[in-house]
Chains A and B, each alone.
Chain A
Amino acid sequence: MTEYNFAYLDEQTKRMIRRAILKGLAVPGYQVPFASREMPMPYGWGTGGVQVSAATLTPDDTFKVIDQGADDTTNAVSIRKFFENTAGVAVTEETEKATLIQTRHRIPEAELTEDQILVYQVPIPEPLRFLEPRETETRKMHSLEEYGLMHVKLYEDISQHGDIATAYAYPVMVQDRYVMDPSPIPKFDNPKLEMSAIQLFGAGREQRIYAVPPHTKVVSLDFEDFPFVASKANHPCDLCGAEDSYLDEVILDDAGNRMFVCSDTDFCRSRRAAGHVGRLGTEDAA
């Protein structure tokens, strides 16, 4: 523990990141530039989220990391271990017990409270990027609230696929002002963006931090005749039987058999522990 400053980053860096976070909270949805540091992991593995977590962690925190909803995947395990080693904080897999949750591409199923902070890993923070490659122009569009282009993307979806086919990283309007990329969470999670917890977004390679304070209005963009739908696989979880959780599809063999399981592993585990059983679950599985 003596080799590292608490939570790896030095105090000056953490101050710099905290200032960006506070600015982000003051202007919900606005992308605040910050001097992203080199982290001991490759870009794309959550360097932005890790820096935000490092700047937000206190020794009393209980830390949880999920990757696509799961606590036990490589990305989640290595980031959790990273902070276990460098900060010595308590870690957990239970959503309710965590005070700081770093997530990649999911919002936990359990409703978060005002005592919790949710940190997102963001690959590309600019929602307009694939339509307008010039950063100078997208910044101008944000500052002047020129968001017609975002609807061109949705228009293209409908004209090509008959429906809004964007299923993740679905653009939202924050507090009637900034259009924001909610990171690649499935659009099923979009309604949950209006929550009691603080939400922080960190993009390490792109050097941007943005935030959604508690109880902020977050509206998913849509057309009057093609309203937003928070879609999921039309199936209950095969392990715990939950009908209202976001599901992963798992291919079981090459004969066409497949199963659907909750992507939130902690949610599924706790339901099975409480005695819920799905189609392929067994009583003693938990």
Chain B
Amino acid sequence: MTPLLQVKGIEKHYGALIGCKDVSFDLYPGEVMGIVGESGSGKSTLLNCLAGHLETDAGQVIFDTRADGPVDTLQMSEPERRMLGRTDWAFVHQHARDGLRMSVSAGGNIGERLMAVGDRHYGNIRDKAVDWLGRVEIAESRVDDRPTAFSGGMQQRLQIARNLVTGPRLVFMDEPTGGLDVSVQARLLDLLRGLVREMGLSAIIVTHDLAVVRLLADRLMVMKDGHVVEAGLTDQVLDDPQHAYTQLLVSSVLQV
């Protein structure tokens, strides 16, 4: 089976500082990869490099495109990469405000990607928007409300709906549950897990919350100071951590 995404030797420097270095992995269709590590360990830098938001200094990000098979997205022309970014890829930001248009209604937010790929039928766009609101457990009556009138958890669910409406195959998530209270987190995770299974999504999830990766991720990468210090199956890494830093990370979690 061809991997959906092959990452080879990604490297990013901020001047003399290392953002991330020598990161390589394969991601197969339907697989969820978790990236954990403390603040400043290069998780978000790596994610932004992979998604093409940051320019990398070295490496390849080879994506198995529908039309042409495996292509290095870092070598793609900008229009191609941006097209990929609103069709087969999706990016869920930590802060929903970064990913949503706050002055546009919930329906418009969901419809934007559809209109961006050429949908020009209002009725269809609206039907899909309502359908997706239902899937992320937001009442249909809120379709014309602006995200400013939504709670944090609802905004995050709206952002997810807005990203998944075009049926992407790969989703990048940057701390999707950050800043939400635990019960809302639990529901969001439940929802995400359902959507990932149902749509056969591949996802790369950056988080510092080990509970999130335990629930969602098939495989896990642990980062420290820009390097990957340990990688493997999630349960294996969390239950039998080998690297000293991973052991510290696992033992730091408060057992209630």
Q: Which residues of A contact B (CB under 8 A)?
A: 131, 144, 146, 148-149, 151-152, 155-156, 158-160, 222-226
Separation of A225 and B113 alpha carbons in the complex (Å): 19
B120→A151 contact, CB < 8 A: yes
Q: Contacts A148-B113, A148-B117, A159-B144 known; list 5 others, CB within 8 Å.
A: A149-B112, A149-B116, A155-B122, A224-B120, A225-B123
CB distance from B86 to the nearest CB of A (A): 8
User: Are the CB atoms of A225 and B121 closer together than 8 Å?
Assistant: yes
27 sampled A-B residue pairs with Cβ under 8 A: A144-B78, A144-B79, A148-B112, A148-B116, A148-B117, A149-B112, A151-B120, A152-B101, A155-B122, A156-B104, A156-B105, A156-B108, A158-B122, A159-B105, A159-B107, A159-B126, A159-B143, A159-B144, A160-B105, A160-B144, A222-B120, A223-B120, A223-B121, A224-B120, A224-B121, A225-B122, A226-B122
Tell whether A148 pairs with B115 under 8 Å between CB atoms, given A131-B101, A159-B143, A223-B120: yes
Q: Quick one: closest B residue to A223, CB to CB?
A: B122
Contact flags (1/0) for B53-97 with A, using CB distance below 8 Å? 000000000000000000000000011001000100000000000
Tell me if B34 counts as interface (CB < 8 A to partner A): no
Complex CA–CA separation, A159 to B115 (angstroms): 15
Q: For residue A142, give the distance in angstroms from its CB to the closest CB of chain B.
A: 12
Chain B nearest Cβ from A234, distance in angstroms = 24
B226: CB under 8 A from chain A?
no
How distant is the Cα of A122 from the Cα of B131 in the complex, in angstroms?
41
Given the complex, which residues of B lie within 8 Å of A155, measured CB to CB?
107-108, 111, 115, 122, 125
Say how far B33's CB is from chain A's closest CB, in angstroms: 29
Nearest CB in chain B: distance from A162 CB, A: 11
The distance in angstroms between the C-alpha atoms of A160 and B126, with both chains bound, is 12
Give min CB distance, A285 to chain B, whole Å: 46
Across the interface, do A152 and B121 meet the contact criterion of CB distance under 8 Å?
Answer: no
CA distance A146 to B86 in the complex (A): 11
Chain B: CB-nearest residue to A226: B122
Pairs of residues from A and B, 5 with the lowest C-beta to C-beta distance, nearest first: A148-B116, A148-B115, A151-B115, A223-B122, A224-B121
Alpha-carbon gap, A222 to B115, bound state (A) = 12
**Distance between Cα atoms of A107 and B121 in the complex (Å):** 30
What are the residues of chain B within 8 A of A159 when measuring CB–CB?
A: 105, 107-108, 126, 143-144
Q: Which residue of B lies closest to A222 (CB)?
A: B120
Q: Which residue of A is nearest B77, CB measured?
A: A144
A152-B104, A225-B123, A226-B122 known; A144 and B82 CB under 8 Å? Answer: yes
CA of A156 to CA of B115 in the docked complex: distance in angstroms? 12
With A159-B126, A160-B105 as known contacts, state yes or no: A152 contacts B79, CB within 8 Å: no
| Residues on A with beta carbons closer than 8 Å to the beta carbon of B143 | 159
CB distance from A150 to the nearest CB of B (A): 8
Minimum CB–CB distance for A29 against chain B, Å: 19
Contact A146/B82 with A155-B125, A159-B144 known, Cβ cut-off 8 Å: yes
CA separation between A131 and B144, bound complex, in Å? 17
Residue of B nearest to A158 (CB): B122
Interface mask (B143-183 → A, CB under 8 Å = 1, otherwise 0): 11000000000000000000000000000000000000000
CB-based nearest A residue for B118: A148
Contacts of A226 in B (CB 8 A): 122
Indicate if the CB atoms of B111 and A152 lie closer than 8 Å. Answer: yes
Of B82, B86, B121, B125, which is in contact with the most chain A CB atoms at under 10 Å from its CB?
A: B125
- The smallest beta-carbon distance between B129 and chain A, in angstroms, is 9
Residue of B nearest to A160 (CB): B144
**Is the Cβ of B122 less than 8 Å from the Cβ of A152?**
no
